[in-house]
A and B are shown apart, each in its own frame.
Chain A
């Protein structure tokens, strides 16, 4: 599932549940629709609520990085759980997207964006 929040020029996509080949494509569609329809220069993919991820999640991050780069913005991965951070490290994705740990970002605050 994806919950989207727009805050000035930053779009935060809070991902939750399992990310695999089956679930990644609908997440991709939802995020891309929001990215294309908002004047943003920063996309934050919040992984704090993700329960499982395989390399499909890496494909998801790489694809969103590509899209936001084409639009002149930057991509950031926030708060992956330790085991997911391990999969990310293995892929070298941090060379494309900064991985940040805030531990305070909430996926449930106001400002939810309906798409």
Chain B
């Protein structure tokens, strides 16, 4: 039976400068679970995509709005990330999740946000209703760390010699 061993909640305005804040906060919290560096980089990217979606789309045409981020760490090394807004909602989730679909081509949005989130996590769920907002939940099971892997991590941080684990700078 998996148990929640740590959790955090944040609320911040949907402003583009908070994209960097959100992924730094997520990264800092998830680090407590001792992830591999590539796992952390993937989760950081997934959070960045989710928060950017809220900033770009959720409150379009409205003066401002808040983004709510909850992260839970479970005893089985699962990371649970919930990102929620109270914005306009997504009319057609299936269409929004199609790779390359975007409603903001003039801003050079590639339409790959959901594809990146799907590929960098194990499970992605989206629930949305027009006019009241969107809830996005991502889950990823972190790999068990092997004893000799501590050594790998050290060389990763100092020398960045490993091809498999990309460094976070």
Contact = CB atoms under 8 A, between A and B. Distances in A.
A91 interface: yes
B2 interface: no
A83 B52 contact: no
A68 to B, nearest CB: 14
Interface string A7-26: 00000000000101110110
A13 to B, nearest CB: 15
Nearest to B160: A81
A70 to B, nearest CB: 15
Nearest to A86: B166
A63 B55 CA distance: 21
A24 B110 CA distance: 12
B67 to A, nearest CB: 13
Contacts of B98: none
Contact residue range for chain B?
20 to 34
A25 B16 CA distance: 11
Contact of A90 (B20, B109, B116, B167): B116
B45 A22 contact: no
Interface residues of A, number: 26
Contact of A62 (B49, B110, B163): B110
Contacts of A86: 166
B52 A59 contact: no
Contact of B116 (A18, A55, A60, A62): A55
Interface of B: 16-17, 19-20, 23, 38, 41-42, 44-45, 48-49, 52, 55-56, 107-110, 112-113, 115-116, 119, 163-164, 166-169
Interface of A: 18, 20-22, 24-25, 28, 51-56, 58-60, 62-63, 81-84, 86-87, 90-91
